[in-house]
Amino acid sequence: MRDNESPQHDVAEIFRKHLDDYKRVHSLSYEQSRAARAIMDCRTPALGGVLKTCNNGCGHWEFSYKSCKNRHCPKCGSFEKAQWLERQKVWLLPISYYHVVFTIDHIFNPLVWWNQTVIYEHLIETASSILKQYGKKYLGGDIGFTLVLHTWGQRIQRHPHLHFIVTGGALVTTPNGYSWQMAKRKYLFPVKMMSQDFLRAFCAGVKKLWLNGNLDTQAGKLDVGKMLETAENKKWEVYIQPPLYGPEKLIEYLGRYVFRIAISNHRILDLKNGQVTFEYYDNLDQGKLKQMSIPAVEFIGRFLAHVLPSRFVRIRHFGLHHGSCRKKLQQARRLLDLSMQLPVPLKLNLLEWLKQVLQTENDPRLCPACHQGILISGREFGPVSGWREHVLPLLGVFEQWKFAAL
């Protein structure tokens, strides 16, 4: 399905129909329960909204319901994502950027499940430390990078990994000041050596956490020693993708990864007889587009497995991309023939942004009935639940104004 087409089925529908079935067998954490409720309530009377009417007097009216703004909701965050991406242009340099991916072995998945915050923090700290070290060793200075944590694979299975956008060069400090060391074309770091160093550092950190009693092993049911032994005898692969885009396309490329969730509504093809059918790209078969059908209860379990711990920050900046390194970033800009003055992020206008997204010159607020007036916001109303939620759409505009005030 194309992204500009409205999906026939969505995650909220699956939750509404089958979450109770899931809860009969499984318990939900506080974060999972909160995310599930937000997704089901998003853009429904349950969150309240505003009544909009045409200012041309044609009599047309419609409801605009509030968004839940939960970071796991497939319907939310598009405008916020666009604004966030505009702010990232501050650290953009006229150089090549590399896409680097760090993945841990699946043998650790049960341990991750019971120790999400601890293991995710360890994964981020380990991979970031490796990148900093390699920047110093092979480029001689400070690199910049931004990361985002993903916990899923294409089939919504547990698959913790990190996506990095890394500068193809480093700011080098010399006795005579700063210089810029550019990375070789289509080559950043020795990837096999980096993979080995990452494996050793990650496993050593897990072992330390285990021996210090900082891991929940489910009363010894999780054999951490066996996991470590198995993982250390495998070959891990850190993936480094050569630059495919110029700096002007980097922000768009970054946007593909930063605000992505486990599955978008557009990938859900069908929901019937308690089965969910969705499409995915099979990375083990040359990235071919395929379909998969699984029980709705299993789908819900897979989706909820990727609800992050409360307040966990999954997008982070380091080195030249970090706010504390703005002076160094200015020096890098000077050496790359840019103004030392950092660019001021553009504050997006919602209406103009909507026109761009919808690929139209018309005002997005244009009345769909008379095509002359503009839909203007009138009275706001709070959450509507129970029998009122079903009655609300059936009332006339005048009655709704009164009803919303109840």
Q: Rounded distance, CA 250 to CA 262, Å? A: 22
Contact indicator for 308, 314 with CB cutoff of 8 Å: yes
Helix segments in 212-289, DSSP class H:
224-232, 247-258
Distance, CA of 406 to CA of 392 (rounded, Å): 12
Confirm whether 293 is domain-assigned.
no
Based on the domain organization, do 113 and 60 belong to the same domain? no
Distances (CA, A) of 400 to 63, 88, 350: 10, 43, 27
Do 104 and 21 belong to one domain? Answer: no
In the block, tokens 């974060």 appear at 31
Please give the pLDDT value at position 404. Answer: 47
Instruction: Answer yes or no: is 209 within a domain.
Output: yes
| Distance of alpha carbon 363 from alpha carbon 366, whole angstroms | 5
Q: Is the dihedral of CA 315, 319, 325, 330 positive or negative?
A: negative
In a domain, 278, yes or no: no
Residue 94 lies in a domain: yes
What pLDDT shows up at residue 398?
A: 43
In a domain, 301, yes or no: no
Q: Which domain range does residue 67 map to?
A: 11-72+364-404
Return the structure tokens found at 198: 């990452």
Contact 181, 139 (CB under 8 A): yes
CA 237 vs CA 190, 198, 231: distances in Å: 12, 9, 12
Residues 166 and 60 both lie in one domain: no
Do 52 and 188 belong together in one domain?
Answer: no
What is the model's pLDDT at position 167? 94
Is 148 domain-assigned? Answer: yes
The answer to whether residues 234 and 111 belong to one domain is: yes
Same-domain pairing of 68 and 91: no
Q: How many domains does the chain have?
A: 2
Distance CA 119, CA 215 (A): 9
DSSP tag of 363:
-
Under-70 pLDDT residues of the chain = 1-6, 244-245, 248, 385-406
238 and 132 part of one domain: yes
Q: Which pLDDT does position 378 carry in this prediction?
A: 84
- Domain identity same for 188 and 170: yes
Same domain, 116 and 166: yes
In a domain, 379, yes or no: yes
pLDDT at residue 35, rounded to an integer = 97
Region class of 156: left (phi > 0), else alpha (psi between -120 and 50), else beta: left
* Number of residues that this document lists for the chain: 406
What pLDDT is recorded for position 5? 60
Residue 214: phi and psi, rounded to 5, are -95, 5
| pLDDT, tens digit (0-9, with 9 covering 90-100), for 136-168 | 999 999 999 999 999 999 999 999 999 999 999
Sign of CA dihedral 135, 141, 142, 145: negative
Regarding whether 182 and 94 lie in a shared domain, the answer is: yes
Question: Is 305 inside a domain boundary?
Answer: no
Are 199 and 122 part of one and the same domain?
A: yes
Task: Looking at the structure, tell me whether residues 47 and 95 fall in a common domain.
Answer: no
CATH number at residue 134: 3.40.1310
- Would you tell me how many other CB atoms lie within 10 Å of the CB of residue 121? 16
Q: Dihedral sign, CA of 52, 54, 57, 62?
A: negative
What does the pLDDT read at residue 363? 87
**Residue 248 to residue 94: CA distance in whole angstroms:** 8
Q: Count CB-CB contacts under 10 A for residue 104.
A: 25
Identify the pLDDT of residue 25. Answer: 95
